[in-house]
Amino acid sequence: MHFIINKETLNEALSHVSKAVSSKTVNPILAGIKFAVENEEIIITGSDSEITIQTILSANNEQIEKIKIIETGKIILPKYIVEITKKLPEEDIEFLIKDNFTVIIKSGASEFLLNGFDAEDYPNLPYINPEQFFSIESDLLKSMIRQTIFAVSTVENRQILNGVLWQLENDSLKFVATDSHRLAIRKATTSNNTNLSFSNVVVPSKSLNELSKILDGANREVQVTIEANQILFRIDDIILLSRLLEGTYPEISRIIPQTTKTQITLQTKELLAAIERASLIAKDSKNNIIKFMTLDGERIEISSHSTELGKVTENLFNCKINGDSIKISFNAKYAIDALRSIDSSEILIEFTGALSPFVVKPLDHDKTLHLIVPIRTI
Amino acid sequence: MHFIINKETLNEALSHVSKAVSSKTVNPILAGIKFAVENEEIIITGSDSEITIQTILSANNEQIEKIKIIETGKIILPKYIVEITKKLPEEDIEFLIKDNFTVIIKSGASEFLLNGFDAEDYPNLPYINPEQFFSIESDLLKSMIRQTIFAVSTVENRQILNGVLWQLENDSLKFVATDSHRLAIRKATTSNNTNLSFSNVVVPSKSLNELSKILDGANREVQVTIEANQILFRIDDIILLSRLLEGTYPEISRIIPQTTKTQITLQTKELLAAIERASLIAKDSKNNIIKFMTLDGERIEISSHSTELGKVTENLFNCKINGDSIKISFNAKYAIDALRSIDSSEILIEFTGALSPFVVKPLDHDKTLHLIVPIRTI
């Protein structure tokens, strides 16, 4: 293995790939990064066996700064190669395999000799048919992740809830996340020319967090392929492969109330700020409980009380209330997470009673829906 | 107690004062922030009994946005008042004491009722004569702290080394810090009209860290007063009071070598970058050991070796070497800390042998000096 590569190109590739490498692993192979140099391209791979991130740098791609392949070969290098290449003095970095899985890395008057591992020991990636994919814009996919991932369960007793449910039918993609106390739904339209469809694909939230970081920056096309228990994302020269969660995601259509008794329209930011302030007192209690009630059919009072800290009362006059009056208690955090994720300036809240889950949704479209289970208080 | 204050003014004052409040204290009085409202000013105080930070907001100061004092009084409020006032909706915030040490805080349609504590329980600050002071510019003081504090000892077995030694004689101020493996000295000229002089004032590094944060921003005058076991800094309307470390600081003049056998001039940034790279391998070892040697009297080689990781070799051609050749080992971190703190583009290193401490100093002035004890290797 012998090649010369531009420092910035290499560092960008390593910054993506290294995110899949766990520092907790005891397996020195998976704690490292695999370099595979072929005739026309350098493939750099990091994996923790659940998520794999790979960058394919083509020597013929004119958009990529200088890559010169002198000899093919492969090796696994320890993860701190990332720190080393960041600090090298010159723009050109030369990699050369010596014997016994050691690599010489040269840049200007700086020379490292690093101990690596046999690339033959690296786990094989599963084969995924790259013909069967649908496409989505990276900005849209990033929004969909951001607007659902906060509702994913973080407790381990029901693993299927530790991911986001993906459903695709024709051009319609739907994300669902719930921790059984609140639920978030986000729908969008995609390009799907291959008649791909699925209804029980659950992607671990950790994989979506890593994917989200890769999606930063300019808007690009993301190609998504699913096969057996794996999902593969291709964004330009980066590939992220993740295993899927096993099991059947709970049926959520029956949970969403079909009738409403109270409808309230509110300014998103004003409501969010009031709940955030009330939460400063509420967070002293275990469930972060705040009270929300209509007063005189024309204003909202939000309040919270703590024996130790004191109490808080917020009034919202800028609202439209239709239907029954309501007095309900809920976890402030659930409302804050949902409201922060909503991009619209006005929202509609639909209640069907103090003990029933209520719906929060943007006033101007029906692509997102949040459901919050109230807390019974005395 | 009853007053109205501009949100931004209050938040800035609280951001300073709250830094002195320890979240670890079990004393609810010291876990809080004291508000004392007098006829003309509002004094806000935070303290962990070692460091006290106070802001004095005068109702007559035209530079301070709107303060309206309606009734004098005082109270201790819990530290989360800082979070609350940050999130209040309007520019004006009204504070009003109710009975039983509770305070009503109002801003727009938001109202908090907070439980506080009796201000009489707050510890009294020591009396310090404010007439006896010397002055120094905040930017200069901040540099002096930055250029010495990294050398302060962090181990607790010799407490006197946990601070920076301050010495003042006429207009000359000198800072010294050492952890007995390396030493940093920084000198400067101050305005001292009161014939104040001292030679064994040791300020805890924690206090200097907090002071440094207050010194951020525009260059201002800092007035420094010392009395008994306390040091007081006054910066505009902010006061920081710190206890001093007890004991006698070790005599350091004898440690600094008076003769040299090798003098090397180097580019600061080039040397720093080479040592930082070498340190990536060296930090695998306990003492972060790197080797530094002259070669052919015209270049420097820096290297490090780790059985597990591999090795690194750095060459520096851009140097002037006078005197004996040298081959010496030292802790890379000590050199990195010293070199990062030096603002000059060129440095002079003076060696008196492989087993003697060596001196690193800027080439263009003699206001700073660093001493590093080498490591004996086989």
In the prediction, which pLDDT does A21 show? 94
DSSP state of A117: B
For residues B186 and B136, is the Cβ–Cβ distance under 8 A?
A: no
Cβ neighbourhood burial of A215 (10 Å; 0-12, 13-18, 19+): buried
In the prediction, which pLDDT does B238 show? 95
Identical topology for domains A2-121 and A262-372: yes
Taking residue B64's Cβ as centre, other Cβ atoms within 10 Å add up to: 19
In the prediction, which pLDDT does B378 show? 66
Minimum CA–CA partner of B79 in chain A: A309
| CA A278/CA A288 separation, integer angstroms | 9
Alpha carbon distances (Å) from A75 to A25, B164, B256:
19, 49, 49
Contact A276 B87 (CB under 8 A): yes
Q: Mind telling me how many Å the CA of B194 is from chain A's nearest CA?
A: 48
Domain A135-243: CATH superfamily is DNA Polymerase III, subunit A, domain 2 (3.10.150.10)
For residues A40 and A58, is the Cβ–Cβ distance under 8 A?
A: yes
Alpha carbon distances (Å) from A356 to A177, A336, A359, A372:
19, 19, 10, 9
Contact A277 B88 (CB under 8 A): yes
B269, B271, B279, B280: best mutation site toward chain A, by most A Cβ within 10 Å?
A: B280
Contact B312 A78 (CB under 8 A): no
Architecture category of domain B134-243 in CATH? Roll (3.10)
Structure tokens at A160: 């299927």
In the prediction, which pLDDT does A351 show? 97
Taking residue B88's Cβ as centre, other Cβ atoms within 10 Å add up to: 20
Q: Which parts of chain B register pLDDT below 70?
A: 62-65, 378
Q: Terminus-to-terminus CA distance in chain B, angstroms?
A: 71
DSSP A141-192: HHHHHHTTGGGS---TTSGGGGEEEEEEETTEEEEEEE-SSEEEEEEEE-B-
Minimum CA–CA partner of A311 in chain B: B113
Q: Mind telling me how many Å the CA of B69 is from chain A's nearest CA?
A: 24
Contact A315 B109 (CB under 8 A): yes
In the prediction, which pLDDT does A227 show? 86
Give the domain ranges of chain B: 2-121, 134-243, 262-372
Q: Which of A30-39, A46-55, A133-142, A280-289 has the lowest mean pLDDT?
A: A280-289
Among B84, B87, B109, beta carbon nearest to A317: B109
- B66 or A75, greater pLDDT: A75
Tell me: the pLDDT tens digits for B230-289?
999 999 999 999 999 999 999 998 899 999 999 999 999 999 999 999 999 998 777 899
In the prediction, which pLDDT does B286 show? 79
In the prediction, which pLDDT does B259 show? 93
| SS3 category, B7 | helix
The residue-averaged pLDDT of A245-259 equals 93
Among A111, A274, A280, beta carbon nearest to B312: A111
> Chain B residues within 8 A (CB-CB) of chain A?
78, 80, 83-84, 87-89, 102, 109-115, 273-274, 276-277, 280-281, 308-317
Q: Which of A181-195, A288-302, B60-74, B160-174 has the lowest mean pLDDT?
A: B60-74
For residues B351 and B262, is the Cβ–Cβ distance under 8 A?
A: yes
Architecture category of domain B262-372 in CATH? Box (3.70)
In the prediction, which pLDDT does A65 show? 64
CATH class of B2-121: alpha beta
Contact A308 B115 (CB under 8 A): yes
Tell me: the pLDDT tens digits for A223-249?
999 988 999 999 999 999 999 999 999
Q: What's at B231, amino acid-wise?
A: I
- Proportion of chain A above pLDDT 70, given as a percent: 99
| SS3 category, B82 | helix
For residues B270 and B347, is the Cβ–Cβ distance under 8 A?
A: no
Q: How many residues does chain B have?
A: 378
pLDDT band at A371 (very low <50, low <70, confident <90, very high): very high
In the prediction, which pLDDT does B24 show? 83
Write the ipTM.
0.88
Q: Mind telling me how many Å the CA of B132 is from chain A's nearest CA?
A: 43
Radius of gyration of chain A (CA): 25
Strand order, beta sheet including B41-47 = B73-78, B32-37, B41-47, B51-58, B238-243, B230-235, B221-227, B134-137
The residue-averaged pLDDT of A334-363 equals 97
